[in-house]
Amino acid sequence: MKNSNCIFCKIANGEIPSSTIYEDEDFRVFLDLGPAAKGHALIVPKEHYANIYELDDALCSRIFVLAKKLAVHMTEILHCDGFNIMQNNGAVAGQTVFHFHLHLIPRYKGDTAGICWNPGTADAEGLRRLAEELRV
Ligand code: 5GP
Ligand code: ZN
């Protein structure tokens, strides 16, 4: 299913041009317009899923295999020093485009990408209880 109001549906399906580095039947991978670092790319399914909660399981299982393949390939070409792979769900988590996408962000020593969080604190008992609550 495509969403006619969604910019990533249009890019993924070729209605809007993009700097594509990979394409197959289900995905397009293109360079981010506001790169955190040189080579920042997005893996985008051609079908519309707003976020990971909606994402089709079969596509989900293929995405990380594709991410690994591209991370290896991009690292060889860009000679980056590290790599972030990240994915935001919901505005509170930093999602700004509500069509599922996985960020591939090459990292370079001294770059200004600044992808981080402030570590909090936790006590052992609190962690034990929470783990119990969350155990699948
Ligand atoms: P989010 O914040 O939703 O995780 O990430 C959205 C990303 O999409 C941002 O990094 C932003 O720069 C990128 N982006 C937004 N609109 C466009 C666009 O029209 N073309 C491209 N190539 N990237 C876009
Ligand atoms: Zn879409």
pLDDT at 47: 97
pTM value > 0.95: yes
- Two structure tokens written together for 85: 């792979």
The environment of the single-atom ion ligand 2, i.e. residues with CB closer than 5 A, is 3, 6, 8-9, 48, 99
Give pLDDT tens digits for 67-95.
Answer: 999 999 999 999 999 999 999 999 999 99
Cβ 33 under 6 angstroms from ligand 1: yes
| Ligand located closest to 43 CA | 1
Of 33, 44, 100, the residue with max ligand 1 atoms within 8 A of its CB, to mutate for a pocket test, comes to 33
DSSP string, 74-101: HHHHH--SEEEEE---SGGGT--S-S--
